[in-house]
Amino acid sequence: MKHELEQDIKKVIYSERSISGMVKKLGTQISRDYAGKNPLLIVVLKGSAVFAADLMRSFSIGCEIDFMVVSSYVGIQSTGNLNVIQDLRTDIAGRDVIIVEDIVDSGVTLRSLKDLLTDRSPNSLKICTLLDKPTGRKVDIQVDYVGGKVGNEFIVGYGLDYNEKYRNLSYIGVLKESVYSHK
C-alpha cells in the first residue's frame, strides 16, 4: 500500500530491508562488545525511538532503556544550543551507557549531550547512530557504532522527520526540496 506522504520523497536511500540489515549488524556488534554487561540505552527522542526499539530487539544480551528529549533544531536549521526538554530518570553513575541517535549531522547536539552525560560519571559512554552525515559535521565527535552513511541531503523516514511528519515511513528517503524551501 502506498503511503500518502510518498509524493514528497525524491528518492529512497535505504529500503526497509537494508535498514533491518544495518540494525541487526549493530545489534550483533553491541551484543558482542557488551557480553556479560547490562548496558543502559539512552534514547534521544523523538527521532531515535523507531531505531532504538528495533536495535534492542536485535540484542542477544540484556539491557535497560531510558529516554531524553533534547533539541537544537527548528525546522531544518540548528540553533547550536542544547535544550533539555526531558531529562533521564535513571542515575547513570557507574553504568555502561550507549546514547542511541537516529542521525549524527552537525554533531553539535550530540557533543553537548555527551558532555552533559560525561559529567554524570558513567563507567563508559558510547554513541550508536543509525546514520552518519559526515559532510554536515561542525564539531568533532566520535561515533562508536554507525549503521550507514548519508550525503548532504535532507532525509526523512524510519523515525527521521521534517516538522513531525514522515517518521512513520518504513524506509529512509530524500525529502523533495520543494517541501521545505518555501518556508
| Residue 48, pLDDT score | 96
The number of CA neighbours under 13 Å toward the Cβ of 31 is 14
Buried b (16+ CB within 10 A) or exposed e, 41-64: bbbbbbbbbbbbebbbebbebebe
Question: pTM of the predicted model, to two decimals?
Answer: 0.91
Tens of pLDDT, residues 28-45: 999 999 999 999 999 999
Tens of pLDDT, residues 2-31: 778 889 999 999 999 999 999 999 999 999
Give the separation between CA 54 and CA 126, rounded to whole angstroms. 18
pLDDT category of residue 71 using cuts at 50, 70 and 90: confident
Question: Per-residue pLDDT for 114 more than 60?
Answer: yes
Architecture of the domain whose range is 19-152: 3-Layer(aba) Sandwich (3.40)
Give the separation between CA 148 and CA 18, rounded to whole angstroms. 10
Q: Active-site residues: which are they? A: 105
Question: Per-residue pLDDT for 79 more than 80?
Answer: no
Single-letter amino acid, residue 147 = G
| Residue 76, pLDDT score | 56
| Residue 4, pLDDT score | 84
- Percent of the chain at pLDDT > 70 equals 93
Q: What is the DSSP string of 38-71?
A: -PEEEEEETTTHHHHHHHHHT-SS--EEEEEEEE
Q: Taking the domains of the chain in order of start, what are their residue ranges? A: 19-152
Sign for the pseudo-dihedral over CA of 141, 146, 151, 156: negative
Q: Which residue, among 164, 178, 171, has the nearest Cα to 74 in the 3D structure?
A: 164
